[in-house]
Amino acid sequence: MDRTRRVANAARSLHGLALGDAFGEQWFGYRGAELTERLTRRIAPQARLWYWTDDTAMALSLLRILHLRDVVDQDALAAHFAASYEADPYRGYGPSMHGVLRAIHEGEPWREVTRRQFEGQGSWGNGAAMRVAPLGAWFADDGLVVVAAEAERSAETTHAHPEAVAGAVAAALATGGRGEAAPDPVEFLAEVAGHTPESDVAAGLRAASRLPAHSSVRHAVSVLGNGSRISAPDTVPFALWTAAHHPDSLTEALWHTATGGGDIDTTCAITAGVVASRTGTTDIPKSWITAREPLPTWVDTGSTSAPPR
């Protein structure tokens, strides 16, 4: 694929991911009846500036390494994650990730750090999936085998558990496998499941593909989860279900995903990264674009001379 096309594809996905992340994060400021009313009536968050979280911060690191190396250089990626964290640790990183990134920054080998998490099982959280959509867009013309392999490499730098890796692979495949025409939701989810390593994530995607077309968000959440457990199996199937059923409207995809509750910034980030890889942010209200915290200019230019963030 032409490098200019790679940069443009990944930037489109990342702009969507960051918007979804920032949009989703705003809902944690509302509770109870007010939250329900605003989501039901589709009243956008009132904050003047919608800050993005660790979802976008880590996606930026991943994209930066692709700009610099063209592929996932695991050592460079782990170092960039850690440096970005040390520069701005207040982005809502998960409890275990604070320890992981600090240890890597202090010089411990990333493989040893990630593999000793959770009594040697490694983290099966949704962090590897939340950041990976731009990678899928970057390798979109290289085939699903390449997308899956690079997504796996990106996940391993922070998440050693097979479920976390499967979640990242699924989210990347959903982005990298989307053509210009909107795919059939059932076929789309089944295909992603078929190329995802056998796992609870893959089983969740198969369950998502079997949900009736008229299923409500509430029913989908009851079957698939909504990220409340912060695990890949509890997050990725729902996020990809909403993406599959709203392939032509990023705005609709975000409202439906937010309505599901749970880890809203992460489900919205995953969904938006996938949908925006096709649509961009063209149907998003201008006020949302203005409110979202800006991204570094190198995201769009692909410049490798700009200072890293």
List per-residue pLDDT tens for the chain, 309 residues long. Answer: 689 999 999 999 999 999 999 999 999 999 999 999 999 999 999 999 999 999 999 999 999 999 999 999 999 999 999 999 999 999 999 888 999 999 999 999 999 998 887 666 667 789 999 999 999 999 999 999 999 999 999 999 999 899 999 999 999 999 986 666 778 999 999 999 999 999 999 999 999 999 998 899 999 999 999 999 989 999 999 999 999 999 999 999 999 999 999 999 999 999 999 999 999 999 999 999 999 999 999 999 987 765 444
Is 141 annotated in some ligand binding site? Answer: no
Cα separations in angstroms, 254 against 64, 281, 284, 303: 26, 11, 10, 30
- Positive or negative, the CA dihedral 295, 78, 148, 129 is negative
Residue 56 is labelled as binding a ligand: no
pLDDT of residue 124: 74
With H, G, I as helix, E, B as strand and everything else as coil, classify residue 201: helix
CATH fold for domain 3-301: ADP-ribosylglycohydrolase fold (1.10.4080)
Task: Find the Cα–Cα–Cα–Cα dihedral 287, 52, 74, 263, rounded to 10°.
Answer: -110
Give ∠ CA 216-222-226 in degrees, rounded to 5: 95
Residue 292's SS3 state is strand
Handedness of CA 93, 96, 97, 102 (dihedral sign): positive
Whether 263 has a binding-site annotation, put simply, is: yes
SS3 194: helix
Q: Say if residue 120 is exposed, middle or buried (CB neighbours under 10 Å; 0-12, 13-18, 19+).
A: exposed
The answer to the question of whether 265 is labelled as a binding residue is yes
**pLDDT at residue 121, as a whole number:** 64
Q: What integer pLDDT is reported at residue 213 of this predicted model?
A: 87
